[in-house]
Amino acid sequence: MMEQDYYELLGVSRGADPHTIKAAYRKLAMECHPDRHGGCQQQEAKFKAISEAYDCLRDPQKRAAYDRFGKAAFQNGGGQDPFGSAGFNDFSDIFSSIFGDFMDRQGGQRANPARGADLRYDLELTLEEAFAGKEATITTDALASCATCEGSGCTSSENCANTCTTCNGAGRVRAQQGFFVVERGCPTCRGSGQVIADPCRACEGEGRALNKRKLTVKIPPGVDEGTRIRVAGEGEAGLRNGPNGDLYIFVHMKRHPVFAREGTTLVADCPVTFTTAALGGTIDLPGLDGERIEIKVPAGIQSGEQLRQRGSGMSVLNGRGRGDLVARILVETPTRLSKAQKKLLAEFRETETGDECPAAKGFFGRVKDMLGA
């Protein structure tokens, strides 16, 4: 029976680099492992074949010999059987081969002290404060370095900590779950690699205790609802002098009595009398910088039209300049009229020709046509 070529078994070219060969093998091993096929003998044979091929091609010396002589290089004393003692007997061996170097490097190092948790603080600002920026003083309740033991977690500096026997000081343990090898923090030492022999009574060996503190934070101009500000190292203290977490400030905006905000644009709904809309005039708005903004209303403006004032809006976050201010005109019909006002309006109506309001004339003209009047 003709023996199948190792390269063909893995589906790679003869010039494939080690990374490509490894990736091809890992994919095939996952697909045809017999445990995934109910112990199918055909799949088991295929799995052994691709494992034999990979064991040969991953070794530069074996690969060179195979390229010159084929499998004959390993027969009749020419070399060890590629799948024998050097092969893969179960699925965990696959992961040891593929990921072993990386995991061994990680496990061989002592674990870093556990980092403290990040904190969240919700800060409410007025529109004026968001426009100008401010220095906000906030108070947090968080785990801070223990003052009694200075964060070490020990009662005394002598014979303070022993190497954790569960993880041998690595701070991590491995466990196989089905097809996968899972690495997680050691539950005994909580990832520190050490166990406190004589824990500090104030913090019970953690090296940190709950503490209230005040912090001044600079809020930049232009922040908006949902803006997140990161303050590095101002979160909870790490376990036994581990690095601190970070503080994240989430900005929330108070409702403004005049302006709504759309990014860097400020929008104000401005009711005007129908006489101002007809004859024109001016309206004054308060700028967020304290300056009064005068907006000219042209004669004949319609309800819903917008008047834009360039450069009078919000500050640009982490940038220069300002957005725009938009006055949205809402023409208000009077609801309380004196007799004199009613008389004047009645006289005005007598002089109307319909050309004063072309939109109304056109609309009711179409209605009239539809009604056949």
CB 58 within 8 A of CB 21: yes
- Distance CA(38)–CA(17), nearest Å, equals 33
**Residue 203 assigned ligand-binding role:** yes
Looking at every residue in the chain, the average pLDDT score rounds to 83
Map residue 28 onto helix, strand or coil: helix
The confidence band for 88, taking pLDDT boundaries of 50, 70 and 90, is very low
- Looking at per-residue pLDDT, the higher value among 190 and 130 belongs to 130
Within 10 A of 207 (CB to CB), how many other CB atoms are there? Answer: 29
Is 188 within the bounds of a domain?
no
Q: Which residues pair with 216 in a beta bridge?
A: 137
User: Region 58-68: what's the mean pLDDT?
Assistant: 84
Residue-range definition of the domain harbouring residue 59: 6-108
**Beta-strand relationship, 265-273 and 281-286:** unpaired
Closest CA to 138 of 121, 125, 126: 121
Residue where one domain finishes, among candidates 73, 108, 143: 108
Is 131 within the bounds of a domain?
no
Residue where one domain finishes, among candidates 89, 108, 127: 108
Q: Which residues pair with 210 in a beta bridge?
A: 143
The confidence band for 158, taking pLDDT boundaries of 50, 70 and 90, is low
Within 10 A of 6 (CB to CB), how many other CB atoms are there? Answer: 25
User: Region 231-241: what's the mean pLDDT?
Assistant: 89
CATH number at residue 289: 2.60.260.20
- Looking at per-residue pLDDT, the higher value among 172 and 337 belongs to 337
Is 241 within the bounds of a domain?
no
**Residue 200 assigned ligand-binding role:** yes
Query: If you write DSSP's letter for every residue of 85-124 in order, what string do you get?
Result: TTS--SHHHHHHHHHHHHHHHHHHSPPPPPPPPPEEEEEE
The confidence band for 101, taking pLDDT boundaries of 50, 70 and 90, is very low
User: Region 310-325: what's the mean pLDDT?
Assistant: 94
- Distance CA(162)–CA(141), nearest Å, equals 31
Number of domains in the chain: 2
Is 115 within the bounds of a domain?
no
**Residue 154 assigned ligand-binding role:** no
- In this prediction, residue 159 carries a pLDDT of 59
- Give the pair of three-digit tokens for residue 90: 């179960």
**Residue 160 assigned ligand-binding role:** no
Extended strands (E) in 3-94: none
CB 127 within 8 A of CB 194: no
Is 225 within the bounds of a domain?
no
| Cα–Cα distance list, 243 to 227, 237, 238 (Å) | 25, 7, 5
Q: What is the DSSP letter of 51?
A: H
**Residue 189 assigned ligand-binding role:** yes
Map residue 272 onto helix, strand or coil: strand
Is 346 within the bounds of a domain?
no
- In this prediction, residue 38 carries a pLDDT of 67
Closest CA to 127 of 338, 288, 235: 288
- Looking at per-residue pLDDT, the higher value among 21 and 191 belongs to 21
Closest CA to 256 of 325, 351, 154: 325
Is 101 within the bounds of a domain?
yes
- Distance CA(57)–CA(14), nearest Å, equals 10
Is 97 within the bounds of a domain?
yes
CATH number at residue 104: 1.10.287.110
- In this prediction, residue 111 carries a pLDDT of 53
Residue where one domain finishes, among candidates 108, 127, 158: 108
